[in-house]
């Protein structure tokens, strides 16, 4: 039975936001002039300058200009520019708004005024965008009402208006069984003449305890029909996993659904889209964090096509220490592509090389068994390190970063060749000794699988930005966590091979400037 939804709801509309909302010109040059004198952006600049003294506030990762933030939303490319939206909390109205930043290169982000303001919904929670030739459509969850649609078509996506005065998919449908009443985080796409939306939570959890994602369909973005459960063949997710912040996108000749589980963090399902039956048939699964999402772990994704068959995805990273009026930050963007039918390739995305300064090359270095080898010329808390290592027969090869001279504090990155399941290898990011501070919440080690053939070296790329470490391994895996060294001299780097020797074939490091 198909169930029609309507935009009708009995919820009492919330008042409009107290955050200033300006109608901007539709011409780019005039928009730039208006932005130059915009009071909100002036406030953002003053806030950024004041908060920059915090030793844990990142230099080249995006962070909200003021207050805290949560999920990234609606990542998209419009008229040659990348737009990042996020859950922002303006000080004059602490309800969730869509914050907004724009970039030419996915790395240097420019603040823009809050994009979507609450009212009649109570808060503007997570959602996605769909880019058409003449406009960008945002579909998101409006708390207390249901799922909302807003559109913008100006050069910098500054002028958003909502299609209706209430939710297009309400929390409580007028028809259909009660099982179909619960919706939240939606994603949006178009196939043929219909728009499709996947709600982050369908009617209920399925009998086996997993999430049930429900597909909706509309000819006009306003009138929506509830279709059915969308996913078939999911034997991968766990009892208790839900699917917040879903993104359903093509990748190569297949499809991927990225999502956030409030139990076990960021994940993805890979499979094929059965267009005729409007079903996603899943064949494999992977994770973006390897444990609970908090403390200090990867949170929710926001993703968009890169125009070359791949996906660009960015995540918010949870805090592991109180940091006053701000807490979360964004990861570096990653590019996901198909490495094979059921496996992803994963690389950093955007023009991060343009941030490099003060290059230091590391010559070929033997790593004798069970000896710590300090890299004396490499120090810092805003670094990129690239290393090629032959692990040979060492049980473990590790790189310690943010290391104090006496090793009282360090963050351990360890590689276990052939120690995973089915002869796979493992990378572990261990932050248990990253800080001696009493208010840091220690995260269990992030330990992720990756493939490494018998004679293949480790190719490691490490990004350090004050309170975050991200590790990319052989373009096949990435682990990331927040860290909070308590000592000002915890800036060193060292190498170690356990049991038997290994070889650092080559290495290079750069200090990284702010965006």
Cα(343)–Cα(251) distance, integer angstroms: 11
444 and 461 share one domain = yes
Picking from 225-229, 247-251, 413-417, which range would have the lowest pLDDT averaged per residue? Answer: 225-229
99 and 160 share one domain = yes
Q: Phi-psi category of 18—alpha, beta or left, where left has phi over 0 and alpha has psi -120 to 50?
A: alpha
285 and 365 share one domain = no
CATH number at residue 382: 2.60.120.560
15 and 28 share one domain = yes
Query: In the predicted model, what is the mean pLDDT of residues 384-390?
Result: 98
**What pLDDT band is residue 507 in, cutting at 50, 70 and 90?**
very high
Domain boundary among 348, 380, 405: 348
- List, for residues 289-317, the tens digit of each pLDDT value: 998 889 999 999 999 999 999 999 999 99
Nearest of 431, 372, 401, 413 to residue 493 by alpha carbon: 401
What is the DSSP track for 207-255? TTS----EEEEESSSSSEEEEEE-EE---SSPTT---EEEEEEEETTEE
Backbone angles phi, psi at 40, to 5 degrees: -65, -45
**Quick check: 123 pLDDT over 70?**
yes
Domain boundaries, position 441: 352-512
141 and 38 share one domain = yes
Q: How many domains does the chain have?
A: 2
Rounded percentage of the chain residues whose pLDDT exceeds 70: 93
Query: In the predicted model, what is the mean pLDDT of residues 56-63?
Result: 98
**What pLDDT band is residue 66 in, cutting at 50, 70 and 90?**
very high
358 and 314 share one domain = no
17 and 112 share one domain = yes
Question: Is it true that the peptide bond before 295 is cis, omega within 30 degrees of 0?
Answer: yes
Query: In the predicted model, what is the mean pLDDT of residues 6-13?
Result: 57
**What pLDDT band is residue 422 in, cutting at 50, 70 and 90?**
confident
**What pLDDT band is residue 9 in, cutting at 50, 70 and 90?**
very low
**Quick check: 6 pLDDT over 50?**
no
293 and 358 share one domain = no
Query: In the predicted model, what is the mean pLDDT of residues 381-391?
Result: 98
191 and 135 share one domain = yes
Domain boundary among 314, 348, 382: 348
Picking from 107-116, 203-212, 292-301, which range would have the lowest pLDDT averaged per residue? Answer: 203-212
Rounded percentage of the chain residues whose pLDDT exceeds 90: 85
343 and 369 share one domain = no
Residue ranges of E strands in 404-501: 411-416, 425-430, 446-450, 458-465, 468-473, 477-482, 492-498
**What pLDDT band is residue 239 in, cutting at 50, 70 and 90?**
confident
Cα(117)–Cα(491) distance, integer angstroms: 42
Cα(343)–Cα(369) distance, integer angstroms: 34
Tokens 């279709």 correspond to 227
**What pLDDT band is residue 263 in, cutting at 50, 70 and 90?**
confident
**Quick check: 177 pLDDT over 70?**
no
Helices and strands (H, E) in the chain, number of each type:
2, 37
**What pLDDT band is residue 421 in, cutting at 50, 70 and 90?**
confident
**Quick check: 7 pLDDT over 50?**
no
Cα(344)–Cα(337) distance, integer angstroms: 6
- List, for residues 13-49, the tens digit of each pLDDT value: 899 999 999 999 999 999 999 999 999 999 999 999 9
Domain boundary among 327, 348, 369: 348
**Quick check: 323 pLDDT over 70?**
yes
Q: What is the DSSP letter of 331?
A: P
**Quick check: 126 pLDDT over 90?**
yes
**Quick check: 178 pLDDT over 50?**
no
Picking from 65-74, 109-118, 176-185, 257-266, which range would have the lowest pLDDT averaged per residue? Answer: 176-185
Nearest of 491, 410, 420 to residue 452 by alpha carbon: 420
Backbone angles phi, psi at 258, to 5 degrees: -95, 145
């Amino acid at each position: 039975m198909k169930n029609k939804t309507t935009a009708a709801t009995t919820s009492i509309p919330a008042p409009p936001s107290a955050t200033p909302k300006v109608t901007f010109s539709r011409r780019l040059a005039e928009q730039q002039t208006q932005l130059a004198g915009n009071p909100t952006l002036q406030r953002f600049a003053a806030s950024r300058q004041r908060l920059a003294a915090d030793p844990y506030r990142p230099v080249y990762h995006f962070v909200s200009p003021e207050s805290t933030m949560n999920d990234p939303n609606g990542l998209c490319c419009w008229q040659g520019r990348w737009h990042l939206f996020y859950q922002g909390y303006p000080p004059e109205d602490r309800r969730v708004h869509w914050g907004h930043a724009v970039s030419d290169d996915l790395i240097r982000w420019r603040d823009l005024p809050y994009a979507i303001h609450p009212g009649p919904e109570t808060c503007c929670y997570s959602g996605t965008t769909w880019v058409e030739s003449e406009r960008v459509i945002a579909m998101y969850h409006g708390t207390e009402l249901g799922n909302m649609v807003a559109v913008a078509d100006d050069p910098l996506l500054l002028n958003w208006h909502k299609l209706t005065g209430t939710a297009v998919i309400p929390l409580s449908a007028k028809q259909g069984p009660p099982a179909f009443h619960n919706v939240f985080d939606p994603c949006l796409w178009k196939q043929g003449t219909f728009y499709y939306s996947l709600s982050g939570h369908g009617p209920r959890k399925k009998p086996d305890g997993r999430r049930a994602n429900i597909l909706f369909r509309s000819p006009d973005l306003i009138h929506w029909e509830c279709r059915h459960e969308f996913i078939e063949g999911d034997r991968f997710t766990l009892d208790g996993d839900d699917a917040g912040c879903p993104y359903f996108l093509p990748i190569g000749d297949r499809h991927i659904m990225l999502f956030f589980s409030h139990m076990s963090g960021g994940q993805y399902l890979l499979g094929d889209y059965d267009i005729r039956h409007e079903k996603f048939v899943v064949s494999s699964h992977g994770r973006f964090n390897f444990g609970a999402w908090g403390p200090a772990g990867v949170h929710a994704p926001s993703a968009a096509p890169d125009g070359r068959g791949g996906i660009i995805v960015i995540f918010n990273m949870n805090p592991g220490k109180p940091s006053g009026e701000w807490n979360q930050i964004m990861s570096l963007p990653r590019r996901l592509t198909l490495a094979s039918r059921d496996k992803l390739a994963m690389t950093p995305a955007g023009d991060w090389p343009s941030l490099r300064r003060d290059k230091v090359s590391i010559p070929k270095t033997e790593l004798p068994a069970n000896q710590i080898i300090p890299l004396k010329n490499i120090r810092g808390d805003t670094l990129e390190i690239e290393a090629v290592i032959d692990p040979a027969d060492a049980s473990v090869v590790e790189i310690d970063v943010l290391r104090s001279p006496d090793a009282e504090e360090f963050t351990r990155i360890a590689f276990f060749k052939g120690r995973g399941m089915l002869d796979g290898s493992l990378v572990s990011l261990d932050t248990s000794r990253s800080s001696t501070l009493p208010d840091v919440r220690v995260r269990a080690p992030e330990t992720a699988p990756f493939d490494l053939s018998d004679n293949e070296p480790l190719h490691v790329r490490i990004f350090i930005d004050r309170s975050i470490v991200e590790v990319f391994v052989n373009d096949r895996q990435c682990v990331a966590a927040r860290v909070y060294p308590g000592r000002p001299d915890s800036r060193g780097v060292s190498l170690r091979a356990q049991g038997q020797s290994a070889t650092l074939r080559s290495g290079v490091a750069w200090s990284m400037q702010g965006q």
